[in-house]
Structure 1
Amino acid sequence: KWVEDIHGDKAMSAIEDLKDGEILMLNNVRMDPEEVSVKGNFDTMAETKIIQRLSSVVDIFVNDAFACAHRNTPSIVGFTHTIPCVAGELMMREIDALDVALENPRRPCIAVVGGIKVEDSISIADNMLRKGIADQIWATGGVANLLIEFSGTNIGQTNHDFLVNELGESYHKTVETAKAMLNDFNDKIVLPTDLAANVEDNRVDLSIEELPIDAPIFDIGINSTMALSAAIKQSGTIILNGPAGVFELTDFALGTIEMLNACAESSGYVVVGGGHTSTLIMNRGLSDKMGHLSTGGGACLNYLAGRLLPGIASLEYSAEKFKLKISQTITDN
C-alpha cells in the first residue's frame, strides 16, 4: 500500500488500519519541510512533528539508507532516543564491506584517489596514511594535479585556477592537509610521471618535466597508467575513489578504463567508493569482478575519510539506550 502523506491524518489513519503482513509506503520524507530545514542534535530532531507522530505508532526504526547516513536530518537520526533503531541488511553489508578494507586489509593495501571531489579524496588519503590503513596512495585526476603543484611543479595557470574555483572556500584547508600529507608521507605517495592535456580538443601526453602547460590536464599519461595498472594487480586490497581523468571524453578515458580493467583482473579485494566510478563499472559489466561497490557516494567518502556519520552514530546510541538484540535476520532464514 502507498499513501500520499508522511505523518498527517492520511498517513496516521493508514498506519492504524494496517493488518498483519501488510506493508505501507509513505511519501518521500524529503518533501517534509522539517526534514530539510531543521538543524541541531539528536534531541532537536526528535522534537520534529515527523518523529513525534511516527514514534507513537511504530515499534522499531530500521535504517537501510547507507547513502543518507552522512545526513543529520530528522528521518535519519530523529528516532535515536524515541524508539529502538537498527541497521537494515544493506546498511550492514556496506559497513561490513568497508570495514574489511579499513580494519584488516590484505597487504599491500593501496588507495587510488582521483576525481573532481578533491577535498574528499585528500581527506581519505590523509586518514588512510595516518591510521596505517594504506601502504601507498596513488593520485590521479584533480588530486594528482593538486599534489604535483604543491610538490613544487608549476601545473599552469589554467589548471591552478580550476582547482581554486572547484574547491572554493575549502581550498586553503585542503591545501594545508595536502602539504602536511606530502611532508609526513612523501615516500608513500605515488604521483603521475606523465599527464595528458586537452590541446585544441586533442590528447597530448607530456612528462611532468614538460609542465607548465596552459591547456587543461584531463588524464594521467600512458606511462603512469601502466604503472598504476601494475600496482593494482600486485595489491591485496585496492580502495578506489574517483576516475583518473575526464573519462566522458573518449580521448581522455584511457587512464580510468585501464585502471578499472586492472581492478577487474586483480586478485585483490577492490572497494569502490560509489559515485561516477561505480556507475561506469556497472555500465562496463565489471560489477561482479569487484569486491564491493558502495551504494553511497557522500556517505562512503565520509566513512573512508574517518568522519562521523550521523546515521551510524544514531544506531550506536540507540543500541546502547534500548539494549536491543536481533536474534534472527533475513539472511538467517
Structure 2
Amino acid sequence: MDNSLLDLPTLKDLDITRRRVFMRVDINSPIDPETGKILDDRRIRVHAKYIKEIVDKYEPALVIGSHQGRPGERDFTTLEEHAELLSKYSGVQVKFVDDVMGPAARSAISELRPGEVLLLDNLRLVSEEVLEGAPEAQSMTVFVRRLSGLFDYYVNDAFATAHRSQPSIVGFPLVLPSAMGPLFEKEVIAAAKIFSSTSGPRIFILGGSKVHDLLRVIENLVRNRLADRILTTGLLAQLFLVAKGVRLGDENVRLLEEKNILTLIPRARLLLMKGAPIETPVDVKTHNEKDDAVENVSITKITGVIKDIGETTLEIYCELIKEASLIVMRGPAGVIEDSKFREGTLKILDAVYNSRAFVVIAGGHLGSMIDETKVNDRIHVSTGGNALLLLLSGEELPAIKALQMSKSIFHGGKR
C-alpha cells in the first residue's frame, strides 16, 4: 500500500454545506429469515452517528443509498426498517422512499431540503447494481446517468463495500466531485497504521472460515515484513498444522478437504520454510458427537472434531498479546455458534482489550462477540472485514481507485 491511501479526498475537500449530496453507506444487516426483521443493527448504529455529525455540521440535502442482501436470497428485502432505525439512533428524521431511480425517487430527491435526510430503497432492486465492472463502464449505467444530475456531490462512506465495483460505488465518482465520508476515512486511517507501524511486536491473530483469503493476507504480511507474530486459530491453524505434518484425524481432514483447504498445503509449507512467524496451537478442544463429549487434547492426540483452541494455547497466545504494540484480529478462534466453543475467542478478546496495543478488529462474525463497553479510542472495530482483508492482502480496492480517479478529474490531482 502506498501513501496515496491517505491522500484520498475527504469532506474537507468539498463544500457540501446545504448542497444536494448522494452518500453511499453499508447498512446491510443480518435478517431473521422467519420474520424478515433485522437481527443485528450494529452497522446501522455506527452509520447513524456519522449521519448525525454530517447533518449538524453541513446541513446538506442528504440522500443515502445502501443494499440489503442479494436478489433471490432470504435477506434480500426493502430498507424501510433500516430507515426507522437510522432515525432512532441518529435523532434525525430519515425519510424513506420505496423506489431507487424511478419517478418517486427522483421526485423525493428533488423536493429534499437542506438539513433533511432521505433513504432510497435497496439499491440492488436495480439490476445494474448487482453487476460489477470497470468504473468507466459503471459511470455510463442508466442508474448513474438518471440520478447523478440531481446531485452536487457524491460521498462514499461504505468502506465495507470498497472491494465491490458496482455503479453506486465506482460509477458516481467519475461524474461528480467526490470524497470519502468520515467512517470510510476512519477505516483508511486505521489501515494505514497497520502498514506504517514499525515498533513491535506487531501481532496478527487470524482465524475464521475464510482460509483462502487469510493465506493471501499472510503471504503479503510476510513479503512486506509487516508481522512479528501471526497467531493462527480455526481452520487456518489446522491448515498450518497439517503443513507441519501433524495428524488431525480423519474427520478434520475430511472437513478441510470439503472446503478445498488441503490444496493450500504447498503454499503453507513454503511460508513455513521461509521462516514466516506463524504460531499454531499446541492443544485444541474437540467434540465427539457419539457421546457429546468435549475434550481439551494435545495436537498429538486428537480425537473428535476440532472446535476451538485449547487452554494451553490460550495461555501462550494471551501472554504474547500482552507485549504487542499493534494487534490485528480477524475471525473467531472457534465455532462460536455453539456456546461450548466460545471461550477461546472471548479470552483472546479480553487479552486484546487489556493490552497496550493499537488494535484493529476486522468485523465479520467476530463482531457479534465484541464487548462494546470495552472498546475505546485505542481499539478500532472495522465495519468492513472483507474489504480490510483484501487491502491487507495487497489488492487494490475498486472504491479507492474510483475516489483517486475522481480526485484527478475534479480536484486536478491536488488536495
TM-score of the superposition, structure 2-length normalised? Answer: 0.72
The range that moved more, 55-64 or 9-18, is 9-18
Letter in 1 for 2:223: R
Identify which of 294, 297, 300 aligns with 2:382: 294
Between the aligned partners of 1:150 and 1:171, the Cα distance in structure 2 is: 9
Cα distance, 1:195–1:22 mapped onto 2, change above 3 Å: closer
Letter in 1 for 2:166: T
TM-score of the superposition, structure 1-length normalised? Answer: 0.89
In the alignment, does 2:139 pair up with 1:50? no
Q: CA contact under 8 A between 2:239 and 2:262: conserved in structure 1?
A: no
In the alignment, does 2:237 pair up with 1:149? no
Between the aligned partners of 1:135 and 1:34, the Cα distance in structure 2 is: 44
In the alignment, does 2:315 pair up with 1:226? yes
Letter in 2 for 1:81: L
In the alignment, does 2:218 pair up with 1:125? yes
Q: Which residue of 1 aligns with 2:98?
A: 4
Identify which of 352, 363, 368 aligns with 1:279: 368
Q: Which residue of 2 aligns with 1:163?
A: 256
Q: Which residue of 1 aligns with 2:265?
A: 175
Deviation at 1:12, TM superposition (A): 2.0
Letter in 1 for 2:205: V
SS in structure 1 opposite 2:204? strand
Q: Which residue of 1 aligns with 2:292?
A: 201
Between the aligned partners of 1:111 and 1:262, the Cα distance in structure 2 is: 13
Identify which of 297, 304, 308 aligns with 2:392: 304
Between the aligned partners of 2:293 and 2:198, the Cα distance in structure 1 is: 40
In the alignment, does 2:178 pair up with 1:85? yes
Between the aligned partners of 1:4 and 1:250, the Cα distance in structure 2 is: 39
Q: CA contact under 8 A between 1:202 and 1:251: conserved in structure 2?
A: no
Q: Which residue of 2 aligns with 1:185?
A: 275
Aligned-pair identity (%)? 35
Equivalent residues in 2 for 1:9-48, closer than 5 Å: 9-36=103-130, 38-48=131-141
Unaligned runs of 5+ in 2: 1-94
For each residue in 1:77-98, what CA deviation from the matched residue of structure 2 results, as whole angstroms up to 9, or x when unmatched? 1123211221000000011012
Unaligned runs of 5+ in 1: 328-333
Between the aligned partners of 1:266 and 1:110, the Cα distance in structure 2 is: 12
Deviation at 1:254, TM superposition (A): 2.3
Q: CA contact under 8 A between 1:113 and 1:143: conserved in structure 2?
A: yes
Residues matched between the structures, number: 319
SS in structure 2 opposite 1:134? coil
Deviation at 1:62, TM superposition (A): 0.2
Q: Which residue of 2 aligns with 1:237?
A: 326
Q: CA contact under 8 A between 2:359 and 2:378: conserved in structure 1?
A: yes
Q: CA contact under 8 A between 1:113 and 1:125: conserved in structure 2?
A: no
Deviation at 1:286, TM superposition (A): 2.8
Deviation at 1:18, TM superposition (A): 3.2
Between the aligned partners of 2:401 and 2:265, the Cα distance in structure 1 is: 29
For each residue in 1:251-272, what CA deviation from the matched residue of structure 2 results, as whole angstroms up to 9, or x when unmatched? 3222212111111111111110
Q: CA RMSD in A?
A: 2.1
Deviation at 1:151, TM superposition (A): 1.1
In the alignment, does 2:345 pair up with 1:252? no
In the alignment, does 2:407 pair up with 1:319? yes
Q: CA contact under 8 A between 2:330 and 2:385: conserved in structure 1?
A: no
Deviation at 1:289, TM superposition (A): 7.7
Between the aligned partners of 2:198 and 2:370, the Cα distance in structure 1 is: 22
More helix, by proportion = 1
Q: CA contact under 8 A between 2:309 and 2:333: conserved in structure 1?
A: yes
Letter in 2 for 1:109: R
Cα distance, 1:12–1:233 mapped onto 2, change above 3 Å: same
